[in-house]
């Protein structure tokens, strides 16, 4: 049985062989008759929920409406975005700085919404970056990335950015253990077991959402995969799944699947806070970058941090405990009551559910099974509430509906399974198309789920949409979960690879004081032109600053001469419109810095270093009025040594 299971998992790795064996038998199943009605949002009407979806290797986050599945927006977070100029404009470039320099891309897996008293509150959305370990905060008043913090001592921040019930902390964790940053940088890989360490990061969230890396816990060199915070009774704890407890550093496919059980690490972060107060933490050198967006000057700033506070999990015997969990656990989900901890072993044929009450008793009674690298291991049975038997193959992620039910995706058998938390009985199963990763119920990882819809995010869509060449879209599938049985309503494609997602009733965001446009009076950009009278062109040596405005339907100035080859020209373009949703674009022929999109009240800067002489037209790229096609101008570029004076 175990062998069979392993084989099918390896077949996934081998690609298409898997379709032949694992395509669900009931794929001819069509949706019920009233499905169309249930997802139909009439023209001019709004959706009921916002749905934020991770963009995977696109590095961005997309916003959908539910139940319509309409794509509303793609928000640039970790990747450059030609549409908005994010990463290209002088104001936003610093957002993508890291200790490795400018990194214009990342692999974005998980999202979590800020919470108040265990409920989503619509203030901020947080996103992790898996490649260069980072956490971003998106301000849901503006739908803009407001902050990005890098995590030191860490490879692959996968188990992130999960949030405690009052948004006290966001966590990060290393998927790839690495030697600590203050190592001398020359460590042989075959000393993995001795020198490679895991790090759990606890990032404090301030009143205005500002992020601060409060402390890290150093652990043995396992791979952390996913995590979730405790709730209610278990508030104060965080639970992290870990695999590769074999601590293999090569051919993990085989070498990290040897142990029958890996672990869920239970971390008592309140206790960790006490130790820090008592002075038990150690400040060690580190190197990471913290980028913030200043709303007043509308400009990003980078700050380099040089130190981090570290606690050692093995040294402080009572902040971390290992709960054995079958076969390379992936998802680690806590039910809305905070009592049940669900582990999902990718290679397991059951789902273990642990009880927080039992865990606490086991700790009090020291029901340990020895220790793992200095960390106490709880006896499996002592913490176990029970096992869901035969749920399907390849359990990955679980969400909750707030009515006592859990829903788990089965990657290998391509289905979603509903089960009862209390008696661990499977209640319903539906095929998904195909190979689901995460699933999402709005509020489904909080104390208050909105258990009406569930979306399952699939890795593969072979035969579901019109083919688009060798690469097909990934997809989302919307289910109605208001009844006893799950009901498929809709399929729709997603941007990039969708991993985790978040959902929230639309009103919670629409009522959060959302910004409609920036008031000119609040614009403290150093190069703002608050009206056409303030426009000018100023040469400072090789630098030329153009204070430019745009309003329907012209730029001021629109004829500029006296620019020379090799000059650094900065076009600071202010949008003078006072109505929302009237952006102007700005692009120059041949400029290798993409375009700008300037929203009303904003000033955005495009840097251009002309490489040859000539006349260069510029124009507005966003159709803004009946005279949009007239919204244009010229720059004359003269040879490097020329005496043509600046005129405009």
CB 387 within 8 A of CB 444: no
Helical residues (DSSP H) of 94-209, grouped into ranges: 192-195
Query: How big is the site for ligand K7E, counted in residues (CB under 6 A)?
Result: 11
* Residue 135 DSSP symbol: E
Work out how close the CB of 638 gets to ligand K7E at its nearest, in angstroms, rounded to a whole number: 53
**Is the CB of 500 or the CB of 586 nearer to ligand CUA?**
586
Block residue for tokens 């936003």: 92
**Is the CB of 82 or the CB of 386 nearer to ligand CUA?**
82
Answer yes or no whether residue 396 interacts with ligand K7E by CB under 6 A. Answer: yes
Task: Tell me, rounded to whole angstroms, the distance of Cα 554 from its chain centroid.
Answer: 39
What DSSP line would sit under 405-460, residue for residue? EEEEEETTTTEEEEEETTT--EEEEEE-SS-EEEEE-TTTTSSS--TTEEEEEES-
CA dihedral (558, 559, 562, 568) in degrees, to 10, reads: 30
When CB distances are held under 5 to 8 angstroms depending on the partner's kind, the choice from ligand CUA, ligand K7E, none that residue 623 binds is ligand CUA
Work out how close the CB of 539 gets to ligand K7E at its nearest, in angstroms, rounded to a whole number: 50
Q: Which residues of 198-217 are buried (b: 16+ CB within 10 A; e: fewer)?
A: bbbbbbebeeebebebbbbb
Answer yes or no whether residue 624 interacts with ligand CUA by CB under 6 A. Answer: yes
Answer yes or no whether residue 628 interacts with ligand CUA by CB under 6 A. Answer: yes
* Residue 513 DSSP symbol: -
**Is the CB of 326 or the CB of 496 nearer to ligand K7E?**
496
Work out how close the CB of 582 gets to ligand CUA at its nearest, in angstroms, rounded to a whole number: 8
Answer yes or no whether residue 438 interacts with ligand K7E by CB under 6 A. Answer: yes
Residues 87-116 that bind ligand K7E (CB under 6 A): 109-110
When CB distances are held under 5 to 8 angstroms depending on the partner's kind, the choice from ligand K7E, ligand CUA, none that residue 584 binds is ligand CUA
Residues 583-622 that bind ligand CUA (CB under 6 A): 584, 620, 622
When CB distances are held under 5 to 8 angstroms depending on the partner's kind, the choice from ligand K7E, ligand CUA, none that residue 438 binds is ligand K7E
When CB distances are held under 5 to 8 angstroms depending on the partner's kind, the choice from ligand K7E, ligand CUA, none that residue 182 binds is none
Residues 499-558 that bind ligand CUA (CB under 6 A): 553
Residues 567-586 that bind ligand CUA (CB under 6 A): 584
Query: How big is the site for ligand CUA, counted in residues (CB under 6 A)?
Result: 8
Work out how close the CB of 408 gets to ligand K7E at its nearest, in angstroms, rounded to a whole number: 12
Long-range contacts of 4-11 (CB under 8 A, 24+ apart): 5/347, 5/349, 5/393, 5/412, 6/257, 6/347, 8/393, 8/394, 8/412, 9/346, 9/347, 9/394, 9/412, 10/253
One character per residue 324-353, x = contact with ligand K7E (rule: CB under 6 A): ------x-----------------------
When CB distances are held under 5 to 8 angstroms depending on the partner's kind, the choice from ligand K7E, ligand CUA, none that residue 500 binds is ligand K7E
Question: Which pair of tokens denotes residue 352?
Answer: 């273990």
In 10 A of CB 513, how many CB atoms? 9
- C-alpha 53/C-alpha 67 separation (Å) is 14
Among 46, 102, 465, 623, binds ligand CUA (CB under 6 A): 623
SS3 content of the chain, % helix, strand, coil (to 5): 10, 45, 45
CA–CA–CA angle 80, 83, 84 (5° rounding) = 75
**Is the CB of 273 or the CB of 497 nearer to ligand K7E?**
497
Among 308, 396, 569, 631, binds ligand CUA (CB under 6 A): 631
Among 134, 385, 499, 572, binds ligand K7E (CB under 6 A): 499
- C-alpha 572/C-alpha 592 separation (Å) is 17
Question: Which pair of tokens denotes residue 566?
Answer: 């090799």
Work out how close the CB of 344 gets to ligand K7E at its nearest, in angstroms, rounded to a whole number: 9
CB 417 within 8 A of CB 391: yes
H/E run at residue 568:
strand 568-575
Nearest to 72 by CA among 510, 399, 390, 400: 510
Work out how close the CB of 595 gets to ligand CUA at its nearest, in angstroms, rounded to a whole number: 12
**Is the CB of 180 or the CB of 546 nearer to ligand CUA?**
546
Nearest to 459 by CA among 50, 78, 81, 54: 54
Work out how close the CB of 295 gets to ligand K7E at its nearest, in angstroms, rounded to a whole number: 31
**Is the CB of 40 or the CB of 623 nearer to ligand CUA?**
623
> How far is the CA of 443 from the CAs of 79, 191, 305, 448, in angstroms?
27, 43, 34, 6
CB 506 within 8 A of CB 49: yes
One character per residue 135-164, x = contact with ligand K7E (rule: CB under 6 A): -----------------------x------
When CB distances are held under 5 to 8 angstroms depending on the partner's kind, the choice from ligand K7E, ligand CUA, none that residue 556 binds is none
Work out how close the CB of 532 gets to ligand CUA at its nearest, in angstroms, rounded to a whole number: 15
Work out how close the CB of 620 gets to ligand CUA at its nearest, in angstroms, rounded to a whole number: 3
Among 52, 433, 500, 547, binds ligand K7E (CB under 6 A): 500
Q: Which residue is nearest to ligand K7E (CB)?
A: 437
When CB distances are held under 5 to 8 angstroms depending on the partner's kind, the choice from ligand K7E, ligand CUA, none that residue 110 binds is ligand K7E
Question: Which pair of tokens denotes residue 442?
Answer: 């709005």
Work out how close the CB of 24 gets to ligand K7E at its nearest, in angstroms, rounded to a whole number: 18
Question: Which pair of tokens denotes residue 79?
Answer: 């990747």
Binding site for ligand K7E (CB under 6 A): 109-110, 158, 226, 330, 396-397, 437-438, 499-500
Residues contributing to the site for ligand CUA (CB under 6 A): 553, 584, 620, 622-624, 628, 631
């Amino acid at each position: 049985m175990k062998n069979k299971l392993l084989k099918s998992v390896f077949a996934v790795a081998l690609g298409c062989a898997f379709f032949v064996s694992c395509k669900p038998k009931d794929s001819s199943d069509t949706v019920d008759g009233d499905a169309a009605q249930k997802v139909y949002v009439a023209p001019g009407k709004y959706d009921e929920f916002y749905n934020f979806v991770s963009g995977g290797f696109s590095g961005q986050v997309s916003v959908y409406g539910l139940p319509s599945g309409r794509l509303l927006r793609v928000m640039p977070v970790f990747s450059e975005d030609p549409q908005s100029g994010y990463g290209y404009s002088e104001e936003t470039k610093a957002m993508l700085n890291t200790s490795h320099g400018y990194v214009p891309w990342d692999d974005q897996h998980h999202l979590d919404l800020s919470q108040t008293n265990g409920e989503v509150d619509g203030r901020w959305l947080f996103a992790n970056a898996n490649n260069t370990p980072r956490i971003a905060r998106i301000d849901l008043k503006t739908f803009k990335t407001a902050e990005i913090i890098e995590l030191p001592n860490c490879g692959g921040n996968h188990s992130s950015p999960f949030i405690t019930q009052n948004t006290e902390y966001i966590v990060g964790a290393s998927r790839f253990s690495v030697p600590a940053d203050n190592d001398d940088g020359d460590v042989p890989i075959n000393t993995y077991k001795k020198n490679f360490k895991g790090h759990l990061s606890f990032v404090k969230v301030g009143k205005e959402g500002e992020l601060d890396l409060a402390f890290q816990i150093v652990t043995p060199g396992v791979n952390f995969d996913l995590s979730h915070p405790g709730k209610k009774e278990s508030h104060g704890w965080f639970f992290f799944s870990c695999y590769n407890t074999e601590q293999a550093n090569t051919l993990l496919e085989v070498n990290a699947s040897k142990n029958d059980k890996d672990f869920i690490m239970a971390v008592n972060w309140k206790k960790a806070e006490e130790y820090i107060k008592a002075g038990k933490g150690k400040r060690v050198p580190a190197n990471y970058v913290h980028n913030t967006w200043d709303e007043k000057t509308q400009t990003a700033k980078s700050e380099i941090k040089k130190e981090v506070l570290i606690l050692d999990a093995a040294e402080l015997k009572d902040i971390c405990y290992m709960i054995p969990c079958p076969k390379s656990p992936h998802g680690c989900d806590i039910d809305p009551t905070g009592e049940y901890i669900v582990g999902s072993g990718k290679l397991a044929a059951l789902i273990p559910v642990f009880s927080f009450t039992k865990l606490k008793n086991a700790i009090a009674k020291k029901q340990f099974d020895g220790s793992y690298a200095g960390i106490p291991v709880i006896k499996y049975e002592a913490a176990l509430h029970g096992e869901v038997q035969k749920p399907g193959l390849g359990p990955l992620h679980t969400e909750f509906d707030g009515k006592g039910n859990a829903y788990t995706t089965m990657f290998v058998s391509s289905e979603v399974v509903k089960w009862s938390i209390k008696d661990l009985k499977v209640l319903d199963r539906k095929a998904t198309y195909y190979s689901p990763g995460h699933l999402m119920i709005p509020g489904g990882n909080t104390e208050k789920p909105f258990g009406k819809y569930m979306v399952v995010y699939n890795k593969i869509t072979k035969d579901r949409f019109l083919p688009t060449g060798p690469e097909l879209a990934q997809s989302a599938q919307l289910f109605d979960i208001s009844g006893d049985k799950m009901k498929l309503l809709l399929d729709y494609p997603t941007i990039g690879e969708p991993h985790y997602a978040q959902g929230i009733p639309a009103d919670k965001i629409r009522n959060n004081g959302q910004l409609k446009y920036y008031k000119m009076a609040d614009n403290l950009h150093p190069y703002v032109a608050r009206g056409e009278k303030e426009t000018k062109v100023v040469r400072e040596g090789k630098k030329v600053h153009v204070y430019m405005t745009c309003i329907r339907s012209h730029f001021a100035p629109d004829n500029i001469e006296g620019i020379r080859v090799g000059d650094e020209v900065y076009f600071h373009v202010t949008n003078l419109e006072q109505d929302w949703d009237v952006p102007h674009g700005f692009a120059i022929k041949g400029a290798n810095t993409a375009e700008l999109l300037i929203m009303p009240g904003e000033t955005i800067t495009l840097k251009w270093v002309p490489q040859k002489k000539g006349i260069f037209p510029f124009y507005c790229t966003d159709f803004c009025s009946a005279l949009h096609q007239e919204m244009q101008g010229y720059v004359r570029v003269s040879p490097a040594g020329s005496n043509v004076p600046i005129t405009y």
